[in-house]
C-alpha cells in the first residue's frame, strides 16, 4: 500500500495525495488521441469520463472504440465479455460540470488559451488533490500550469498515436510540478502496460523534438524533387522504419503534425531547422488531413 505524501500549495495549504485514491480518470477531447487514451484507461479498469463539447465527436469516438475493441476480439486478444466491460467503464459526456475525477487528462486543440480555459474550469469543480495532466505535443507544461491553481499538480502525460497500441508515454515535469506527482503518474501509466520516460519541460520534449526532422527533411527532399513521397517512404521503410514519414503524417493527421511543427518552430525562436514546409501547409489548407479525412499524401477511399 502506497504511503500518501504531503505537498504545500503556494498558499501554504497542506494537501494529501495517494495513488490509491485514483479511481476515476477524465479525458477531455474525443478526437483520435482522446478516444484512444480513454480506451487505455478503461481497459485498465478505471472509471473513465470522455468529454467533448461536440456531441458528434462523442458519437464518433464511441464508434471508434467499439471498432477497436471488436478488432481485438476478432484477433482473439480480448474476450467479448472483457470488451463489453471496457465499454461499460466509459461515460461519454458533453457536460463539463460532470468532469469530477481524480486525474484529468486534456487532449484538446493545441492552443494555450483553450487549455488555460479548460483547466481553470475543471479546477473550480474538483478537489485540490486532483491531478491535472496535459497530452500536449509541444506546448511547455510550465506555460500551461502558469494560470492554474496549485500548479505543482500540473504534469504532462504525452501518449502517442494510436494510444492503445503505442507503448511509449512521456511524463513531463514543468518548473513547478511536484516530483511525486510526476512519479505517481509514471507508476499509474506503467500499470496500464505502457513504457514511461521522464522528460524535462522543453519544446517538443524528447520524441517530437527528435522526430521533427524525420518529417521536415522528408518534406524538404520532396520539395526539391529529389524523390517522390512514395519513394521516400519506401526507402525509409526498407531502412528499418515501420512507417515512412508521409504515411506516418497521414496516420497522425497532416494538420496535427503541421501544428506541432509550427509550435516547435516558434518556441525555438524560428530556428531554421524546424521551419514548417509549404507542401504540408497546402495539404492543411486543402483539408487533406490524412486518413481521418480520407486523403492526405495518400488516398484512403
Out of 170, 259, 277, 289, which one is annotated catalytic? 170
Burial class (CB in 10 A: 0-12, 13-18, 19+), 128: middle
Out of 208, 257, 259, 277, which one is annotated catalytic? 208
Dihedral (CA of 16, 17, 20, 21) sign? positive
Burial class (CB in 10 A: 0-12, 13-18, 19+), 282: exposed
- Count CB neighbours of 274 within 10 A: 21
User: Shortest CA distance to 172 belongs to which of 122, 213, 134?
Assistant: 134
Out of 126, 137, 262, 277, which one is annotated catalytic? 137
Out of 43, 150, 152, 158, which one is annotated catalytic? 158
Place of cell 505524501: 5
Could you confirm whether 158 is annotated as catalytic?
yes
CA 221, CA 228: separation in Å to the nearest integer?
Answer: 9
Q: Residue 206 forms beta bridges with which residues? A: none
- Count CB neighbours of 251 within 10 A: 18
CA 31, CA 106: separation in Å to the nearest integer?
Answer: 11
Could you confirm whether 208 is annotated as catalytic?
yes
Q: Residue 10: helix, strand or coil by DSSP? A: coil
**Residue numbers annotated as active site:** 137, 158, 170, 208
Amino acid at each position: 500500500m502506497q504511503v500518501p505524501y504531503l505537498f504545500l500549495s503556494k498558499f501554504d495549504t497542506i494537501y494529501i495525495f495517494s495513488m490509491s485514491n485514483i479511481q476515476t480518470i477524465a479525458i477531455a477531447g474525443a478526437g483520435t488521441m482522446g478516444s484512444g487514451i480513454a480506451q487505455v484507461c478503461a481497459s485498465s479498469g478505471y472509471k473513465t469520463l470522455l468529454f467533448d463539447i461536440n456531441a458528434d465527436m462523442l458519437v464518433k469516438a464511441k464508434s471508434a472504440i467499439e471498432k477497436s475493441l471488436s478488432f481485438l476480439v476478432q484477433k482473439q486478444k480480448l474476450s467479448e465479455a472483457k470488451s463489453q466491460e471496457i465499454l461499460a467503464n466509459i461515460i461519454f459526456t458533453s457536460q463539463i460540470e460532470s468532469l469530477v475525477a481524480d486525474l484529468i487528462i486534456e487532449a484538446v486543440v493545441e492552443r494555450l488559451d483553450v487549455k488555460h480555459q479548460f483547466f481553470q474550469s475543471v479546477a473550480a469543480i474538483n478537489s485540490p488533490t486532483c491531478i491535472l495532466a496535459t497530452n500536449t505535443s509541444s506546448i511547455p507544461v510550465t506555460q500551461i500550469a502558469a494560470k492554474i491553481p496549485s500548479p505543482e499538480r500540473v504534469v504532462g502525460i504525452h501518449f502517442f498515436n494510436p494510444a492503445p497500441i503505442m507503448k511509449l508515454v512521456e511524463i513531463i515535469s514543468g518548473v513547478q510540478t511536484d516530483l511525486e506527482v510526476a512519479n505517481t503518474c509514471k507508476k499509474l501509466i506503467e500499470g496500464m502496460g505502457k513504457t514511461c520516460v521522464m522528460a524535462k519541460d522543453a519544446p517538443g520534449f524528447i520524441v517530437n523534438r527528435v522526430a521533427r526532422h524525420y518529417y521536415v527533411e522528408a518534406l524538404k527532399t520532396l520539395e526539391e524533387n529529389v524523390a517522390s513521397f512514395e519513394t521516400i517512404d519506401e526507402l525509409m521503410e526498407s531502412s528499418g522504419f515501420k512507417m515512412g514519414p508521409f504515411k506516418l503524417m497521414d496516420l497522425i493527421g497532416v494538420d496535427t503534425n503541421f501544428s506541432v511543427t509550427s509550435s516547435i518552430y516558434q518556441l525555438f525562436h524560428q530556428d531554421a531547422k524546424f521551419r514548417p514546409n509549404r507542401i504540408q501547409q497546402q495539404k492543411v489548407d486543402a483539408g487533406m488531413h490524412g486518413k481521418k479525412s480520407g486523403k492526405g499524401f495518400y488516398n484512403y477511399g
